[in-house]
Amino acid sequence: MTERTVLMVVHTGRDEATETARRVEKVLGDNKIALRVLSAEAVDRGSLRVAPDDMRARGVDVTVVDADPHAAEGCELVLVLGGDGTFLRAAELARNANIPVLGVNLGRIGFLAEAEAEAIDLVLEHMVARDYRVEDRLTLDVVVRHGGRVIEQGWALNEASLEKGPRLGVLGVVLEIDGRPVSTFGCDGVLVSTPTGSTAYAFSAGGPVLWPDLEAILVVPNNAHALFGRPMVTSPEATIAIEIEADGHDALVFCDGRREMLIPAGGRLEVTRCVTPVKWARLDSAPFTDRLVTKFQLPVTGWRGK
């Protein structure tokens, strides 16, 4: 019986994914490392056209599992082949199993990925040798209250995005930090972000970039109708609360753009640091500054260094 197992999560339907996934299957098979794939991707993998039976015929020890909270149990790593959306989906599975997640970018920007697809052989070399370090990334607990009781709970790696409903008017909110009111204003929404998520939706909404090793929580009002509708960086131990006007309309909160919760009028969103981080597999020690410049294609012409 194989002792080592890796869960592979793939953005299906891409030609590049076909070649990359088959390379993963071959290298893991050659090194007697079992592969686990998700049932939705194994049944219909689009242009990937790789079925579990085909993998087994090539000598790969493969198991098909559902994408439930137990999908990654017993694995040493979750390998992601895709963009940031695929990474966020895989990070949830890795977090449930308390194992690292490693991303290979097959998308456009792929800010969360550790490597590009053309470096897959180097990635696999590190995986086989277990030659990577693991960083803990801060996550958020997200709670919805109404009438004094908890009605919804969730978590986020990037951000919890409070948003008004479709085709509805301005959302009236009261922002509270550590039990004290900060400001009442109308807005399209409010984002509560981690440093990891500061380069995602929060950045598009006008928030600052936070280095991922910084421990903090970022609050970004989205199109606020107020003079004090500016981004704020708080302590990682802060409790961020946003109350919805009782005579207003319902709102929605999206965790990482994936998990949706309803906040009724008069409800309250509370966001705090979560005790369970996402474990991030890192292959190199390149500074975050270099990643920022590369991913956003920032001009650095004229830099002379020291």
Known binding-site positions for NAD(+): 84-85, 89, 158-159, 188, 199-204
Q: Is there a catalytic annotation at residue 84? A: yes
**DSSP code at position 27:** H
Give me the catalytic one of 15, 30, 68, 84.
84
Query: Which residues does the annotation place in the binding site?
Result: 84-85, 89, 158-159, 188, 199-204
Which residue's entry shows tokens 């919760």? 261
Contacts of 78 (CB under 8 A, 6+ apart): 6, 7, 8, 9, 72, 90, 91, 93, 94, 97, 99, 100, 101, 102
Residue 12 C-alpha from the chain's centroid? 18
Beta strands, E only, the chain: 5-10, 34-38, 62-65, 77-82, 101-105, 115-116, 133-137, 140-146, 149-156, 159-164, 171-177, 180-187, 189-193, 217-222, 232-234, 240-244, 251-255, 259-263, 268-273, 278-282
What is the largest distance, in Å, between two alpha-carbon atoms of the chain?
65
Residue 29, SS3 per DSSP? helix
Tokens of 280: 């991030």
Computed from CA positions of residues 109, 111, 113, 119, in that sequence, does the dihedral angle turn out positive or negative?
positive
CA angle 216, 279, 297 (to 5 degrees): 65
* Strand 189-193 relative to strand 159-164, pairing: antiparallel
Residue 129, SS3 per DSSP? helix
How many residues comprise the chain? 306
What is 228-240 written as a DSSP string?
T---EEE-TT--E
Which residues are identified as catalytic?
Answer: 84
